[in-house]
């Protein structure tokens, strides 16, 4: 892991006591999550657990009225623009412009991040090489497969070299090879460049024993810590079994 002394041990993301509701319907209750710099943290939850709402709060699409959110120590409410500059996001819905080319999509993102044109050109070139789509850089995104689009979105989210990456179920609907390629791409960014990752998913097979895991269920955090510790505490042999036990216990 490539961490500088000043960032080692620092939290890429700190969520403290966050609550949110749509009118009278409470969606998140007293949620606290910490993602260290360089850690790969899986946010596990079934559909409707509150993951996407939490992501909307983390990306300032919704305002966090209860609790606090800090990215690299910067409060999202009072220092939002600087906090957002440290953030890369892959949303649940695809956000690529299908009528623009791969290169144009990446260049557009660089502009939105305020990157210098020369630097942007270099990074776009490198990103396209990294995901092995350099030969298709002039093609319209519409012509890519679902897996290729997701890989392009991930590469785009890392163009400005953020310290925190949020990914909201980016592998849903993809085949097993595409899922594996995307996971490898993100894990490499996390371990080689010290990017903290919050990876929301309901696909439990994406969890590795050394990952940090947060189980979100009905808007509350049930468990937080290393996946191995979760297995021990639930006396389960697999993450799926542990997850099922935790969420069933809660339902009972």
Partner 1 sequence: MSPAQYARCLFGIFTREALRFVHQRERFFGALVRPLVWLFIFAAGFRSVLGVSIIPPYETYILYEEYIVPGLAAMVLLFSGMQGSLSMVYDREMGSMRLLMVSPFPRWYLLVCKLTAGTLVAILQVYLFLAIAWFWDVRPPPIGYLLVLPALLLSGLMLGALGLLLSSLIRQLENFAGVMNFVIFPMFFASSALYPLWRIRDSSVPLYQICLYNPFTSAVELIRHALYGQVNPEALGWVAGALAVFLGGAVYGYDPARGLMQRK
Q: What is the nearest approach in angstroms of partner 1 to the Cβ of residue 228?
A: 33
Q: What is the nearest approach in angstroms of partner 1 to the Cβ of residue 67?
A: 15
Tokens (6 digits) for 133: 């789509």
Q: What are phi and psi of 251, to 5 degrees?
A: -65, -35
Give the residue with the Cβ less far from partner 1, 136 or 245. 136
Burial class (CB in 10 A: 0-12, 13-18, 19+), 166: buried
Q: What is the nearest approach in angstroms of partner 1 to the Cβ of residue 92?
A: 8
Q: What is the nearest approach in angstroms of partner 1 to the Cβ of residue 85?
A: 4
Give the residue with the Cβ less far from partner 1, 38 or 162. 162
User: Does residue 246 contact residue 217 with C-beta atoms inside 8 Å?
Assistant: yes
Tokens (6 digits) for 151: 């890989």
Give the residue with the Cβ less far from partner 1, 11 or 106. 106
- Residue 1 to residues 36, 37, 55, 167: CA-CA distances in angstroms? 12, 10, 26, 20
Q: What is the nearest approach in angstroms of partner 1 to the Cβ of residue 114?
A: 4
- Residue 205 to residues 39, 60, 61, 179, 190: CA-CA distances in angstroms? 18, 30, 30, 11, 19
Tokens (6 digits) for 76: 């999202």
Give the residue with the Cβ less far from partner 1, 1 or 61. 61
Q: Which residues bind partner 1 (CB under 8 A)?
A: 22-23, 59-63, 81-82, 84-85, 87, 89, 91-97, 99-100, 104, 107-114, 117, 140
Give the residue with the Cβ less far from partner 1, 84 or 231. 84
């Amino acid at each position: 892991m490539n961490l500088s002394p000043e960032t080692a041990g620092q939290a890429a993301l700190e969520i403290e006591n966050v609550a949110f509701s749509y009118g009278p319907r409470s969606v998140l209750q007293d949620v606290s999550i910490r993602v260290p710099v360089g850690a790969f943290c899986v946010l596990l939850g079934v559909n409707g657990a509150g993951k996407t709402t939490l992501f909307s709060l983390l990306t300032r699409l919704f305002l966090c009225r209860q609790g606090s959110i800090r990215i690299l120590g910067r409060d999202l409410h009072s220092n939002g623009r600087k906090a957002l500059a440290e953030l890369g996001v892959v949303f649940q819905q695809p956000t690529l412009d299908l009528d623009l080319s791969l290169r144009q999509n990446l260049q557009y993102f660089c502009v939105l991040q305020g990157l210098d044109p020369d630097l942007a050109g270099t990074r776009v070139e490198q990103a396209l090489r990294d995901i092995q789509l350099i030969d298709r850089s002039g093609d319209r995104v519409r012509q890519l497969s679902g897996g290729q689009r997701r890989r392009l979105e991930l590469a785009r989210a890392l163009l400005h070299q953020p310290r925190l990456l949020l990914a909201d179920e980016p592998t849903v609907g993809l085949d097993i090879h595409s899922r594996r390629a995307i996971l490898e791409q993100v894990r490499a960014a996390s371990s080689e460049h010290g990017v903290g990752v919050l990876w929301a998913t309901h696909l439990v097979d994406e969890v590795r024993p050394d990952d940090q895991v947060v189980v979100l269920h009905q808007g509350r955090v049930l468990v937080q810590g290393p996946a191995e510790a979760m297995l021990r505490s639930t006396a389960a042999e697999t993450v799926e079994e542990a997850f099922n036990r935790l969420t069933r216990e809660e339902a009972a």
